[in-house]
Amino acid sequence: MQVTTMAEYMAKGESPEILFWVGCSGSYDQRAQKITRAFATILDKVGVRYAILGKEELCTGDPARRAGNEFLFQMMAYKNIQLLNNYGVKKIVTACPHCFNILRNEYPVLGGSYEVIHHTVFLQQLIDAGKIRLREGGPYKGKRITFHDSCYLGRANDIYEAPRKVLEVLEAELVEMKRCRSTGLCCGAGGAQMFKEEEKGSTRINFERSDEALGTGASVVAAACPFCNTMLTDGVKHAEKEDSVKVLDVAELIAASMD
């Protein structure tokens, strides 16, 4: 895909409507790259003028801060803030709740104040504005879908309705897990747990959460976070259900259903 960078926009003396913050997962993880492509495809189809930072984008520093390395976090954050401020960035959209949370809530103290939107909220805005048109009888019509609330989207930022409203337009049957919304269960990757060895216990959190998702009888587990996607995919594989149950990002579901 050919995506214009902020540097290229600036060279032309123009500025985009939004900066799409891709994040480390969306850039380097092969599975999460599909989410990035799906969201970029939607933006292209609806005609949103967007840019990415490309090679200039650094990690937000979220895993470093969560793991206790405050020095590394601040070093990364200041570099990002300097770059974003130099480009005059006002509006950022990201498909990662970890990036979303830290850019929105923790960068302002360091001098980086932006309007930060999670991609599910942005998708809902596009749907409400009539810009996203889905084809009749799409691939998920009548399918049973369950949505997993990401910790940094739900409990940390109180965003529960947007992803569900986006899923509703697919004309699927939306079923909830027992633990959902403000009582949702973590996938097991948050707080830098993704990058460390687990402590001994009776089961893995992602296995327990995946079992809850499978218990709904859904054929699609919808996620809105690349970390959650990885953990739930592993859980579904552990239950040997990967042939009958798919773990997909909300953006992938919409991209596959568009005209």
Kind and range of the H or E element at 93? strand 91-94
User: Can you spell out the DSSP letters for 173-204?
Assistant: EEE--SS-GGGPPP-S-TTTGGGSPPPP-SS-
Is the pLDDT confidence value at 135 over 80?
A: yes
Look at residue 194 in the predicted model and tell me its pLDDT: 77
In a domain, 1, yes or no: no
- Which of residues 70, 90, 124 is at a domain's end? 124
Backbone angles phi, psi at 57, to 5 degrees: -75, 125
Give whole-number Cα distances, 155 to 19, 45, 60, 97, 160, in Å.
Answer: 25, 32, 20, 11, 9
Look at residue 248 in the predicted model and tell me its pLDDT: 98
Q: What is the mean pLDDT of the chain?
A: 95
Question: Are residues 253 and 163 located together in one domain of the fold?
Answer: yes
Is the pLDDT confidence value at 150 over 80?
A: yes
Look at residue 105 in the predicted model and tell me its pLDDT: 98
The percent of residues in the chain predicted with pLDDT above 70, rounded, is: 100
Span 191-240, pLDDT tens digits: 777 777 778 888 899 999 999 999 999 999 999 999 999 999 999 999 99
User: What is the Cα–Cα distance from 224 to 147, expressed in whole angstroms?
Assistant: 9
Give whole-number Cα distances, 177 to 121, 143, 156, 222, 224, in Å.
Answer: 21, 16, 19, 12, 16
User: What is the Cα–Cα distance from 173 to 3, expressed in whole angstroms?
Assistant: 34
Is the pLDDT confidence value at 137 over 90?
A: no
Sequence letter at residue 215: G
Strand partners, 247: 221
In a domain, 113, yes or no: yes
Kind and range of the H or E element at 127? helix 119-128
Please list the alpha-helical segments (H only) found in 190-249. Answer: 205-214, 226-238
Look at residue 198 in the predicted model and tell me its pLDDT: 77
- Which of residues 67, 95, 124 is at a domain's end? 124
Question: Are residues 73 and 16 located together in one domain of the fold?
Answer: yes
Sequence letter at residue 69: N
Question: Are residues 159 and 69 located together in one domain of the fold?
Answer: no
Beta strands in 109-190 (DSSP E): 115-118, 144-147, 173-175
8 A C-beta contact, residue 167 and residue 253: yes
Backbone angles phi, psi at 218, to 5 degrees: -75, 145
Segments forming the whole domain that contains residue 196: 134-257
Question: Are residues 117 and 148 located together in one domain of the fold?
Answer: no
- Which of residues 93, 124, 155 is at a domain's end? 124
Look at residue 1 in the predicted model and tell me its pLDDT: 87
| Three-state DSSP class for residue 31 | helix
The percent of residues in the chain predicted with pLDDT above 90, rounded, is: 90
Could you give the number of structural domains in the chain? 2
Question: Are residues 251 and 164 located together in one domain of the fold?
Answer: yes
- Which pair of tokens denotes residue 167? 């899923």
- Which pair of tokens denotes residue 218? 């859904």
Question: Are residues 104 and 204 located together in one domain of the fold?
Answer: no
Span 69-116, pLDDT tens digits: 999 999 999 999 999 999 999 999 999 999 999 999 999 999 999 999
Look at residue 43 in the predicted model and tell me its pLDDT: 98
The vertex-64 CA angle with 183 and 90, nearest 5°, equals 80
Span 32-55, pLDDT tens digits: 999 999 999 999 999 999 999 999
First-last CA distance in the chain: 19
Contacts of 159 (CB under 8 A, 6+ apart): 118, 120, 121, 153
| Three-state DSSP class for residue 226 | helix
Look at residue 200 in the predicted model and tell me its pLDDT: 83
Look at residue 119 in the predicted model and tell me its pLDDT: 98
Look at residue 78 in the predicted model and tell me its pLDDT: 97
